[in-house]
Amino acid sequence: MSLTKRSILILALLAASPVGAQTLTGPAWVSDGDTIRIEAEAIRLHGIDAPESRQECEGRDGHAWACGEWAREVLSELVENKTVRCEGIERDRYGRLVAKCHVDGMDIGEEMVARGAAHAYRKYSLDYVDAEKRAFVAAIGLWQGEHLPPDAYRAQRADAEQPVPASGCAIKGNISKSGRIYHVPGQHDYAATRIDEGKGERWFCSPQEAEAAGWRAARR
C-alpha cells in the first residue's frame, strides 16, 4: 500500500472512531456549573444541568441569591488542583464533548447533584435521579428554596430575547430536519424555538394560516 493510501486509511479510521473512545486526563478549568475544559477541549458533564452563570434562585429567607455562580464555585472546588479523567460519550450540538468525569474515583456529575448544585438532566440520562432526590429531601443547595430548572430558565431568556413581531402574530413557523412545524404559545418547545426569517422561517397569525402555507402543528 502506498504512503498516500495508507495515510488516507488512517485518517478515515480516526474519523470513524466513536466519541466514546475518547479519554481526556489532566487539570481542568471550569467554565460554569456543568462545563469544564481540559487543554483545548470543552467538556459538558454528562447527565447534569447546572443553573446558568447569571441565574438567581430563592433562598430559605425568600431573598434571591446567585445560584449560578455558586454552582460554578462548587465545581471549581471539586476539580481544583486535581487530575480529572473524562470518558467521552458523544458530542452535543455545540461541538462540546459530553463525558463522565471523575476525580480521585469520585463521579463529578453525581457529586454536583448530591450537593444540590445541579439537576439530574432527565432529558438525557437517569443516572443521577436518586442523588437529586436525596438533595431535594435534605433541602440543600438549589433545593433550599424556589428556582427555575436551568432548561426552563434558558427557554425563558430565549423567549424574552426574541419579541413577537409588531403585527402581534405569535405563532412560530420553524424549519428543521423534521420538516415545517409551527409552535403556538404555551407549547413545550415554543420558548426555545428561534425564528430565522433568512432561512425561510416565519411568524403566523393563526394555525389555519400556518397549515395553509404548508406547516404542520408541533406534537407537544
Catalytic-residue membership of 52: yes
Element (H, E) at 217: strand 216-217
Catalytic residue selected from 72, 96, 115, 202: 96
Give phi and psi for 27, each to the nearest 5: -70, 150
Catalytic residue selected from 52, 110, 111, 201: 52
Catalytic-residue membership of 44: yes
Nearest-angstrom CA–CA distance, 102 and 31: 17
- 213 CB contacts (<8 Å, ≥6 apart)? 173, 202, 204
Catalytic residue selected from 6, 37, 41, 44: 44
Catalytic-residue membership of 72: no
Nearest-angstrom CA–CA distance, 119 and 195: 29
Cell numbers representing residue 20 in the block: 466514546
What are the helix (H) ranges across 1-149?
Answer: 3-16, 67-79, 108-114, 129-138
Counting Cα atoms < 13 Å in the Cβ hemisphere of 88 gives 20
Q: How far is CA 154 from CA 41, 50, 151, 159, 189, in A?
A: 24, 11, 5, 9, 12
100 within 8 A of 111, measured Cβ to Cβ: no
Give phi and psi for 170, each to the nearest 5: -100, 0
What are the residue numbers of the active site?
Answer: 44, 52, 96
